[in-house]
Amino acid sequence: MRCGAATSASAYSRRVANDVGALLSVPGIARWVVRTWPRRIAIAMVAVLILVIAAVGGFARVAPEPARQLAVGEAVDVGPYTVTVESFFVSDQVDIYGIPDEADAWVGVVMVLETSELEGIPTDYQNFRLSGADLVEERFQQVVLLADDSRANFLTADLPVHVAMLWPVRDSGAIGDEVELTLTETYEDISFLFQTPTWFAGDRIGVIAVPRDDEVPPAILDEEP
* pLDDT > 60? residue 26: no
Question: What is the b/e burial string over 79-109, where b = at least 16 CB atoms within 10 angstroms of the residue's CB?
Answer: bbbbbbbebbbbbeebebeebeeebbbbbbb
* pLDDT > 60? residue 11: no
Per-residue pLDDT at 189? 81
- Under the banding of pLDDT at 50, 70 and 90, the label for residue 23 is very low
Segment of 3-17, 69-83, 142-156 carrying the highest mean pLDDT: 69-83
- What is the DSSP code (8-state) at residue 125? G
- Under the banding of pLDDT at 50, 70 and 90, the label for residue 224 is low
DSSP string, 48-88: HHHHHHHHTTTTSPPPPPPPPEEPTT-EEE-SSSEEEEEEE
Per-residue pLDDT at 198? 80
Q: CA 169: distance to chain centroid?
A: 23
Cα separation, 106 vs 89, in Å, equals: 8
Per-residue pLDDT at 59? 52
* pLDDT > 50? residue 83: yes
* pLDDT > 90? residue 129: yes
Per-residue pLDDT at 153? 87
**pLDDT tens, position by position, 151-191:** 888 999 999 999 999 999 999 999 999 999 999 999 888 76
Question: In the chain, pLDDT over 70 holds for what percent of residues?
Answer: 70
Q: Which of 77, 221, 47 is nearest to 144 (CA)?
A: 221
**DSSP E strand boundaries for 92-196:** 105-114, 121-122, 128-131, 134-135, 142-145, 154-155, 161-170, 178-190
Per-residue pLDDT at 20? 44
* pLDDT > 70? residue 1: no
CB 138 within 8 A of CB 184: no
**pLDDT tens, position by position, 86-128:** 999 999 888 877 788 899 999 999 999 999 988 888 999 999 9
Compute the half-sphere exposure of residue 32: CA atoms within 13 Å on the CB side of its CA: 11
Q: What residue ranges do the domains of the chain occupy?
A: 2-55, 69-220
Averaged pLDDT for residues 18-38: 52
Averaged pLDDT for residues 206-222: 91
Looking at domain 69-220, its CATH class is mainly beta
Predicted TM-score (pTM) of the model is 0.69
Q: How many CB atoms lie within 10 A of CB 172?
A: 17
